[in-house]
A and B are shown apart, each in its own frame.
Chain A
Amino acid sequence: MSTVAAPPPSPTRPSSGQQHDPASAAKKRKRDTTRLVAFLVSPTVAVLGLVVGYPIIAALRESLFSEKKGLDANGFVQQGEQFVGFEHYIDLLSGEAGERFWNAFWNTSFFTVTTVTMETVLGIAMALVMHKAVRGRGLVRASILVPWAIPTVVSALLWQWIFQANGVANAILGHKVLWTTEGFQAQLAVIVADVWKTAPFVGLLVLAGLQLIPTEVYEAARVDGAKAWQQFVRITLPLIRPVLLVAVLFRLLDALRMFDLPFVLIGAHKGSVETLSMLAYDEAANTRYGPAAAYAVILFLYVAAVAFVFVKLLGADVFSSDKAAAKKSKSRLKKPAATEVPA
């Protein structure tokens, strides 16, 4: 991660104080700058430590403890918590807790892979349409973004109406499917609703990338006799790749934390759509904070691992496609595109 640091000390700027030895003065300047940088970023570090570092450490600690749950002779719950080491993690390897955990783990992974794949494909398609639309481009773009703007809980309720036994989905299919009951149909309902909601997000990011591709590139390709498909695969895809990868990364991290859509659309305690977040929530709701923290920690590690692998992959890809692009189109289009992304 590169941070925006203070500008490097310019050698032309005269420094205060006497200059005995240029080497030591440079060293001192460097030290001063380092100190200044440390001073300037310290509030950020402190805030991050407070809102990110502390909760993570607290969750890690909590996951090693267990609330006492037994009742004493008078029917009162025993107070306090006890240290149980890695018991909550070991419990996940077998037994009922393990079964439920792995089910949630696979559901989470399944939803992530399926929804993100479909959203990427649809998102690119949407972006191409939006890019091509000449008249009413603003309107098309705004309308495509509507699903993304609706709060997830609200869209879950909307889809619940659609997927009711007497809902629109069944009316169109002409077949009575009980979507919200346990089984594959519930998973399908979640996937459809999620793709509907977040494909526009991918679409919008990709559109930003598309708009940065100069038209000359396509003109040159056409002169060389490239067909539409070839242009798409050889020019468009490589050139939107950095933007696309960022969009996919965001979606991956989001999908791994999926909670409200299955929770509202299908309901709690339904094994076929229970994700890791829902599992952690359920344990916490039943005041078993230890296991809840353990699930949350595992989800955190999972998300972190996926992000790490992806960023590594992304970095490598940006680099190689950069070279490839430079070779192919003899222009450095990559860099401006990459810096535009966060905006």
Chain B
Amino acid sequence: MGPQGMKETTNMRHWLPKAGMAVLAASLLAGCGSGSGSEDAGSKPPSFKGRGPITLATGKDTTGVMDKVLDQWNSTHPKEKVRMIELSESADEQRQRMIQNAELKSGDFSVLNMDVVWNAEFAANRWIVPLPKGEIDTGSMLKPTVEAATYRGNLYSAPWTSDGGLLYFRKDLLEKAGAEPPKTWAEMKKTCDKVLKLPEAKGMSCYAGQFDKYEGLSVNFSEMIHGAGGSVVDKAGKPTVNTPEAKKGLKWFADAFKDGTIPKEAITYKEEEGRQAFQKGDLVFHRQWPYQWALANAKDGSSKVAGKFNVAPLPGLDGPGTSSLGGHNLAISSDAKNKATALDFIKFMTNKENQKKRLLLTSQAPTNAALYEDKELLKKFPYLPTLKASINGAEPRPRVVQYGDATAAMQEAAYGALSGKTSPDAALAQLQKKLAGVNSK
């Protein structure tokens, strides 16, 4: 660790004048007012000057790994120490604290550890600053993670961890039934018909995801729409859920609820309820995040399916499906002091070594593409290639500024359709209207 840290610092020294030039160039470009750039010409370009102590505002560190990483930085940067400010475990509360901090124009939080879906809102409200071009090594990162960190052409945060949905399936049962992991929803249903006839599969259900009315439903709903070839919003942020593709996607899942392909109680499933059902051996297929891999493989008796399952990319309507993108980004608060240090720190956190360490210690998926081929990692995380495919094909959830309203509207529509209270068509028509109104509020 020592030599690497040294190298890091010397690199930083070289970097400082470069950064100054980059800022200068950026301000010149902005001054020229070439209409193509979406740089806000009216306001001063953020200056990445100033070195000294900074803070990292992050959700509660349940892994206990963060301290170690910060110690490493602090030992090599005695004059630019980073102090961790631990916020609540709940994402909503983290977001609120960060917004409060921004609205008070307080410099208390320098670097923000943000959920990937907050990027547009924080950028549009100028709560975070665009990162100077060419500083973050976006070329080495998976493309969708970079896209999700971008707002109107500018990179506002550095992709740090990522996440994608996987289709967990019961390898043992599929083999018995002589079936391959399905590529489409219809195939999945057909496979289920075969599997559920096996005596071992008595009392099992076919499929579940996250269908309770919370953020997880927005994730699953987006996957239903994208998996059928539709989209929730277009590139300009206009809603597009009133299309035949979107209708087909939602209808398939509403029907699956009706005919029992998805068990009735799945409407109450968040990640954990679904995981318990899968681990108890109640489900043949389960849409879930990578974190379930280690837990469902636990040999301590907590899981009845240890060693009996595998993962595949999510299925879609006519071909492979599309996952929603999860993960966290690091951004710099607009009112932060010592932005130069903050930028260095973000680069340090998102570099390949640290991402690898993080994956090994917390099994959080990296954004660095090369790590998905790392032999050492593959041994411990055999699902990495599937996850890479999932993230590479992933669509960010709608990048709208009023994301809170957008996700509430998506949950309302999906919940109504899946619980059979509204028809998918009516739910989507309503959603189209609501999403159109979201940004004009």
Interface residues of A (CB under 8 A from B): 69-71, 74-77, 164-166, 176, 178-182, 267-270, 282, 285-288
Question: Which stretch from B241-249, B289-297, B341-349, B399-407 is at the chain A interface?
Answer: B399-407
Are the CB atoms of A71 and B439 closer together than 8 Å? yes
- Give the residue name and chain of the A residue nearest to B266 (CB): A165
Q: Inside 8 A of A287's CB, which chain B residues have their CB?
A: 99, 404
Q: Inside 8 A of A76's CB, which chain B residues have their CB?
A: 40, 124-126
B380 CB to nearest A CB, Å = 32
Are the CB atoms of A181 and B440 closer together than 8 Å? no
CA distance A74 to B41 in the complex (A): 9
Are the CB atoms of A71 and B124 closer together than 8 Å? yes
B267 CB to nearest A CB, Å = 6
Are the CB atoms of B412 and A77 closer together than 8 Å? no
Known: A75-B152, A165-B273, A166-B265. A285 touches B404 (CB 8 A): yes
CA distance A251 to B273 in the complex (A): 33
Q: Is B221 an interface residue (CB 8 A)?
A: no
A227 CB to nearest B CB, Å = 49
Q: Inside 8 A of A176's CB, which chain B residues have their CB?
A: 264-265
- Quick one: which of A69, A166, A269, A282 contacts B402, CB cutoff 8 A? A69
Are the CB atoms of B213 and A270 closer together than 8 Å? yes
Q: Inside 8 A of B26's CB, which chain A residues have their CB?
A: none
- Quick one: which of A69, A74, A75, A181 contacts B267, CB cutoff 8 A? A181
Known: A69-B441, A164-B268, A178-B267. A75 touches B124 (CB 8 A): yes
A-B contacts, 12 listed (Cβ < 8 Å): A71-B401, A74-B40, A74-B152, A75-B38, A76-B124, A182-B415, A182-B421, A267-B213, A267-B214, A269-B213, A285-B92, A288-B441
CA distance A70 to B440 in the complex (A): 6
Are the CB atoms of B268 and A178 closer together than 8 Å? yes
Q: Is B212 an interface residue (CB 8 A)?
A: yes
Q: Is B96 an interface residue (CB 8 A)?
A: yes
Are the CB atoms of A178 and B264 closer together than 8 Å? yes
Are the CB atoms of A267 and B212 closer together than 8 Å? yes
Known: A165-B265, A267-B213. A77 touches B401 (CB 8 A): yes
CA distance A293 to B38 in the complex (A): 35
B48 CB to nearest A CB, Å = 20
Q: Inside 8 A of B265's CB, which chain A residues have their CB?
A: 165-166, 176, 178
- Give the residue name and chain of the A residue nearest to B265 (CB): A165
Q: Mark B403-429, 1 if CB is under 8 A from A, else 0.
A: 011001001100100010100000000
Q: Is B151 an interface residue (CB 8 A)?
A: yes
Most buried by B among A164, A286, A288: A286
CA distance A71 to B47 in the complex (A): 24
Are the CB atoms of A269 and B411 closer together than 8 Å? yes
- Quick one: which of B125, B264, B404, B415 contacts A77, CB cutoff 8 A? B125
Taking A71-B439, A180-B212, A285-B96 as known contacts, 17 extra A-B pairs with beta carbons closer than 8 A to each other, sorted by chain A number, are: A69-B440, A69-B441, A71-B124, A71-B401, A74-B152, A75-B123, A75-B151, A76-B40, A77-B401, A166-B276, A267-B212, A268-B213, A268-B214, A269-B213, A269-B408, A282-B408, A286-B402
CA distance A77 to B405 in the complex (A): 15
Q: Inside 8 A of B439's CB, which chain A residues have their CB?
A: 69-71
Q: Inside 8 A of A268's CB, which chain B residues have their CB?
A: 213-214
Q: Inside 8 A of B95's CB, which chain A residues have their CB?
A: 285
Are the CB atoms of B213 and A165 closer together than 8 Å? no
Q: Mark B32-58, 1 if CB is under 8 A from A, else 0.
A: 000000111000000000000000000
Q: Inside 8 A of B92's CB, which chain A residues have their CB?
A: 285
Most buried by B among A76, A268, A285: A76
B95 CB to nearest A CB, Å = 8
A12 CB to nearest B CB, Å = 58
Interface residues of B (CB under 8 A from A): 38-40, 92, 95-96, 99, 123-126, 151-152, 212-214, 264-265, 267-268, 273, 276, 401-402, 404-405, 408, 411-412, 415, 419, 421, 439-441
B208 CB to nearest A CB, Å = 11
Q: Inside 8 A of A77's CB, which chain B residues have their CB?
A: 124-126, 401
Q: Inside 8 A of A285's CB, which chain B residues have their CB?
A: 92, 95-96, 404
Q: Inside 8 A of A69's CB, which chain B residues have their CB?
A: 402, 439-441
Q: Inside 8 A of B152's CB, which chain A residues have their CB?
A: 74-75
CA distance A132 to B421 in the complex (A): 51
A274 CB to nearest B CB, Å = 11
B123 CB to nearest A CB, Å = 8
B401 CB to nearest A CB, Å = 6
Q: Inside 8 A of A166's CB, which chain B residues have their CB?
A: 265, 276
CA distance A282 to B126 in the complex (A): 22
- Give the residue name and chain of the B residue nearest to A68 (CB): B441
A-B interface, 6 closest residue pairs, ranked by CB to CB distance from nearest: A165-B265, A286-B404, A75-B152, A69-B441, A74-B40, A77-B125
- Give the residue name and chain of the A residue nearest to B93 (CB): A285
B375 CB to nearest A CB, Å = 41
CA distance A270 to B39 in the complex (A): 40
Q: Inside 8 A of B125's CB, which chain A residues have their CB?
A: 76-77
CA distance A70 to B438 in the complex (A): 10
B155 CB to nearest A CB, Å = 14
Known: A74-B38, A76-B124, A77-B401. A181 touches B268 (CB 8 A): yes
Q: Inside 8 A of A267's CB, which chain B residues have their CB?
A: 212-214
Are the CB atoms of B412 and A269 closer together than 8 Å? yes
CA distance A286 to B92 in the complex (A): 10
- Give the residue name and chain of the A residue nearest to B441 (CB): A69
CA distance A220 to B153 in the complex (A): 88
Q: Inside 8 A of B126's CB, which chain A residues have their CB?
A: 76-77
A134 CB to nearest B CB, Å = 46
Q: Inside 8 A of B412's CB, which chain A residues have their CB?
A: 269
Q: Inside 8 A of A71's CB, which chain B residues have their CB?
A: 124, 401, 439
Q: Inside 8 A of A182's CB, which chain B residues have their CB?
A: 213, 415, 419, 421
- Give the residue name and chain of the B residue nearest to A287 (CB): B99
CA distance A282 to B421 in the complex (A): 24
CA distance A268 to B405 in the complex (A): 13
A177 CB to nearest B CB, Å = 10
Are the CB atoms of A165 and B404 closer together than 8 Å? no
Most buried by B among A70, A282, A285: A285
- Give the residue name and chain of the B residue nearest to A271 (CB): B412
Are the CB atoms of A164 and B213 closer together than 8 Å? no
- Give the residue name and chain of the A residue nearest to B211 (CB): A181
CA distance A166 to B265 in the complex (A): 9
Are the CB atoms of A165 and B268 closer together than 8 Å? yes
Are the CB atoms of B124 and A181 closer together than 8 Å? no
- Quick one: which of A74, A180, A269, A288 contacts B268, CB cutoff 8 A? A180
- Give the residue name and chain of the A residue nearest to B405 (CB): A286
A163 CB to nearest B CB, Å = 9
A75 CB to nearest B CB, Å = 4
